[in-house]
Amino acid sequence: MSFIVAIDGPAGTGKGTIAKLVAKEFGFMNVDTGAMFRCVTLAMIRENIGISQSEKIEKLLNEIKIELKEENGEQVVFLNGEDVTNQIRTPEINSFISDISKIPQVRTKLLELQRKIAQGKNVVMEGRDIGTTVFPNADVKIYLDASSEERARRRVIQNEEKGIVMTYEEVLESVKRRDKEDSERKISPLKKADDAILVDSTNLTIDEVAQKIYSIIKEKM
Ligand code: DC
């Protein structure tokens, strides 16, 4: 038996933090699907592969090894055995990722991987299309949202912690661009599933969002 919690929504809504808390609270496995798209993006940049080079992309996808592990309570991401946890969260990756997440071969490969990882397990999986495409029959579907201004404000704080220098205006622009590209792409666009529960985190603390989601999950268990 497996119990699946799908958390979807745009960047900066706190999906990552919430998924981590849910995993801890219920002892579920946490699957960050954005990290998988980030690994493919990093691999393509490193190998200098363009988005229209189908054959090269196919080869890369056949050979790529992406692993999500937990070490001391923190998620560690491995690309072909190398720890790339920090390297996949740079402005450079953010600027390429929407184009790479549109590539049908990339989506097919990661869809397979996401379903395989969850097989027979209790998982909380966060991304953009989990409740709509990856697990349309998920036990709990949450769509986490927040205003773009609030999301940009949060990202500026995260960037400062990581030593990334970007103004609020630049971050807001990048947040809006990625929202637009993620929700307008043809395959698996970012969209609230009809049966997903909308949680707006604009004026809520992380703890308030977490409590809300815990009670939704407990009701379904
Ligand atoms: O959650 P994140 O910001 O790490 O995701 C990075 C990008 O990956 C996001 O802009 C779109 C893509 N993505 C996707 O297309 N489908 C998913 N399930 C998860 C992420």
Nearest CA to ligand 1 atom 13: 34
**pLDDT above 70 coverage of the chain, percent:** 100
Nearest ligand 1 atom, CA 12 = 3
Which domain does 208 fall in, by range? Answer: 4-216
**Is residue 221 in some structural domain?**
no
Q: Count how many residues are written for the chain.
A: 221
**Is residue 175 in some structural domain?**
yes
Give residue 71's pLDDT.
Answer: 87
pLDDT at residue 44 tops 80: yes
User: What global pTM score does this model have?
Assistant: 0.94
Buried b (16+ CB within 10 A) or exposed e, 62-75: eebebebeeeeeeb
**Is residue 67 in some structural domain?**
yes
**Is residue 181 in some structural domain?**
yes
Nearest CA to ligand 1 atom 5: 34
Please tell me the distance between residue 219's alpha carbon and the centre of ligand 1 in angstroms: 28
66-71 β-sheet, strand order: 66-71, 74-79, 82-83
- Decide which of 57 and 11 is more confident: 57
Nearest CA to ligand 1 atom 1: 34
Tens of pLDDT along 123-182? 999 999 999 999 999 999 999 999 999 999 999 998 899 898 999 999 999 999 989 998
- DSSP strand pairing (66-71 vs 140-145): unpaired
Please tell me the distance between residue 97's alpha carbon and the centre of ligand 1 in angstroms: 8
Domain count of the chain? 1
Tens of pLDDT along 85-118? 999 999 899 899 999 999 999 999 999 999 999 9
Q: CATH no. for residue 54?
A: 3.40.50.300
